[in-house]
Amino acid sequence: MARMGEGRGVHRVLMGKPEGKRPLGRPRRRWEDNIKMYLREVGGGGDWMEVAQDRDRWRAFVNTVLNFRVPKSAGNFLTSRRTS
């Protein structure tokens, strides 16, 4: 999404500011907030949009986060199929 042009709908949704009143309570965690948190956790400083511009760096970041977040004892549940 970071490499998309500014005229694309997804880019407008990601970068736009919604109108109207905010709900009460703690603000919801956004997708972008999670990405920034993961960057801090794995020690990758900088802007996530800048990292996303380079496919190899972005892929390395995603793989690092997945290896960091998914315990080894979880097995291969993301790619295995259930045969029921």
* Digit-coded pLDDT (tens) for 17-37: 778 887 788 888 888 888 888
Q: Is the pTM of this model over 0.75?
A: no
Torsion over CA of 55, 45, 13 and 24, rounded to 10 degrees? 150
Q: Please check the confidence at residue 45 and state whether its pLDDT lies above 80.
A: no
Q: Please check the confidence at residue 67 and state whether its pLDDT lies above 80.
A: yes
Return the HEC string of the chain.
Answer: CCCCCCCCHHHHHHHCCCCCCCCCCCCCCCHHHHHHHHHHHCCCCCCHHHHHHCHHHHHHHHHHHHHHHCCHHHCCCCCCCCCC
